[in-house]
Structure formats: C-alpha cells, structure tokens
Structure 1
C-alpha cells in the first residue's frame, strides 16, 4: 500500500470517529434535556402539592371564623346579636318565637307558660329585662318586637310603668321563662288606635331574661 493510500484511510477513520463522537454528544444532550424537563415537572408538582396542603390547613381557620361557629355572633352580617341568656336557660330563648293569631273573643288576661324558667320569680318593683314579640290578637299582625331592635327591653314591672296586662301577667314569672300574654283591650291600649298604638286585644310572647 502506498503512503498516499495510507493517509487517505487514516483521514477517513478520523472522520468516522469524529462523526461517532458528534452523534454520542447529541445523544447525551438529548438525554440531559429530557431529564431536565422531567425535573422541572417534578418541581412544579411538588410546589402544587405543598400549596394545596397549606390551603387545606387554612380551611379550618376560615371555618372557625365563620359566622356559624360562635354562639353569640350574628348569623348574618348586620343581623342583631343573640341575646345573653340566664345561666341554665333553655337555648330556645336565643331564637325569636313565631307568634300566631288568637282564637275567639278575648275577655280576660291569660298567661300561658311556653318555657318554664329555673330562676327566681319576678316581684313587683323589680326592673326586668325581656325580649318580646307583640301581635294583634285578631290576625297575628306584628306591631312591635325587641328582636328587630337588636337588644332586650328593660323596665320596672308591677308599678304602672307599662300596660296593665304586662304588670299583672309578668309578676311571679320565673327568670328564664317564655310566656304568652293574651291581653284584652282594656288592659292594653284600648280599642282606639291613638298615637300609633295598636288597638284591640293583643298577644305578646315574652322571654324574661333577668330581674333585679
């Protein structure tokens, strides 16, 4: 073999080796790029999982701060606060009662216990704190309610500061009680609607929350 042929073969072998090296380098770069893409996806998945777990950890705090958690918080924004009940009182006193119309002709004061309290009995001359709903006995139309005002009413009892039906109907009632007072017109505001007062027989449902 001539020296020229030997050089030609050597150059060909060098070119083939260079091509193989280039192909191997491209393969390595392709694998590296693939691994890098997988690593990025894995990092993103890990981030989403961590964020999702943190979001789940925050959920109980939001629920605890929701309006349904504390008993003395309003159920809705702007709603009146729940009343402070006497110790041991029936939880039903924390909810406004539904008051229906009466039946027949009302001729005398009638006191109907709805919830029996366990506190001391109200005596004449005390100041009592109450929640109440007042409706017309004939049709159940509401004309007054402390619940809408958002706070109970406090006044002296048994000394002529309120209508006779209240003075006579609430003395002797135990604190923590809910009673229904059916009051004839002559022991309420009379039969004439003067000064915006309700006329005729009335029905009240009264919660006695305190007396002192």
Structure 2
C-alpha cells in the first residue's frame, strides 16, 4: 500500500538527515584523517627501518667477534710452535748432540794412548786364516810405542774374534761400544791371550791365531755354547797398569 503524505514526509526528512551526516564532513576533517594515515605509515616504515638497522648491527658485531676470535686462535697456535728464525727444518735446528730418533748410534771412539796410530780408532776387518793352525801365532799389525805388557797387569783392549776357518765373527768389543779391561797372565782369559799378549807394547794392534786347545777347546759339548776350534783375534792394546 502506498505511504501516506505524512509518512512520506517523515521518510524524506530521514533520508536528508542521513545525507547531511555523510556529506556534512568538512574538507579539513578529511585532510586530517589522510594526514594521520600518512603519519602512521611513516612511523611504521621508520620502525621497520630501525628493526632492520638493529638486526644488521647485531650481525656485524657477530661477524667481527668471529674474525677477532679467529685471529686470536691463529696467534695462539703460532706462539705454541717453536721459533725457527733461521728457516731451517726441525731436524737441522735440533741440538748437534741429540741423536735422530730411531737411528742407530755408532759406538764412541775409544780413547787412544798418547802417540798411538789413529787406525786404532776404527774397527779392523778380520778375515779367515789359511791352512791348518797347529800353534799359537802372534802377528804384529801396528807397533805401539808404549811400555810392554807384563804378567799380572790389568790391560784395556779392543778386539774382534772370528772363526779361523771361515772368518765368521762371534765376538767384538766394538759392538759392545766400550773396550774390555781384565788381568793378563793369571788365568782370567783363555791361554792364547795370556801367552800371546805378554810383552806386547801399549798402542799395538796384534793378530792372535789360537788353536782350539789354547782357546775354548775343540769339543762343542764341553764348550758350553762358546766357540770351539781354532780362532783368530785382532787385539788393540790401549792401556796396561
């Protein structure tokens, strides 16, 4: 049913009132709202930039800390290593008197009597004998200038012992690294030594060809593991007193 004139008038008034409310805002009010929105956007952008700056700063600090820590670690390792200013390798910079690891060390040279032949400082090469050995044979190889060995003295010697027939070495003071000292002529050594070294001068090198009966015998069962049969010794007399 169509509205009555009075009702129509009320509706018209209501519509105009709403239009006035929506259109009644002044231009200044609209501009203020736009400005407020712009300010809010600027504040949000500035806050975002500040957060990014803080994050970048913290990352930079972390990188610097890592770099400083790395330099400190390198310097500490450098300090722990031995200095080598000469540029020599570690083995060349070691003390001269320190033997290399796992390297065999040569026995020290014997102390020679005054005026002795320098050849007494080196181990002699001893070869096998020839022919049948029937008696003790003393062969001078180097003539010493010291006093003659007397019975009952303690003598100091270097020696090499080999089997007379094949020259195979069975004993040597050179391998032990020091000369041997013992009394001579009183039964403390084999008869071939007791007889063959009396009268030899200090500083001499002699070859002793000793039959089995003047050495350790000819019977292996009675020798107790010692060499049997004829033997050859080269003996250096270094001292006698």
Cα distance between partner residues in 2 of 1:100 and 1:190: 21
Q: TM-score, normalised by structure 2?
A: 0.57
**Counterpart of 1:210?**
239
1:83 counterpart (110, 116, 133): 110
1:165 and 2:155 correspond = no
**Counterpart of 1:192?**
219
Deviations 1:170-192 (CA, angstroms, capped at 9, x unpaired): 00000000000000011001102
1:134 and 2:134 correspond = no
Structure 1 segments of 4+ aligned residues over 3 angstroms from their partners: none
After TM superposition, list the pairs within 5 Å mapping 1:14-33 onto structure 2: none
Deviations 1:12-52 (CA, angstroms, capped at 9, x unpaired): xxxxxxxxxxxxxxxxxxxxxxxxxxxxxxxxxxxxxxxxx
1:107 counterpart (127, 134, 152): 134
1:119 counterpart (146, 151, 171): 146
CA drift of 1:95 comes to 0.2
RMSD: 2.0
Deviations 1:148-202 (CA, angstroms, capped at 9, x unpaired): 0000000000111111000000000000000000000110011022211101000
Task: Determine helix, strand or coil for the equivalent of 1:138.
Answer: coil
Q: TM-score, normalised by structure 1?
A: 0.65
Structure 1, gaps ≥5 residues long = 1-53, 68-75
Cα distance between partner residues in 1 of 2:96 and 2:135: 47
Task: Determine helix, strand or coil for the equivalent of 2:107.
Answer: coil
1:96 and 2:128 correspond = no
Structure 2, gaps ≥5 residues long = 1-84, 98-102
Cα distance between partner residues in 2 of 1:196 and 1:114: 30
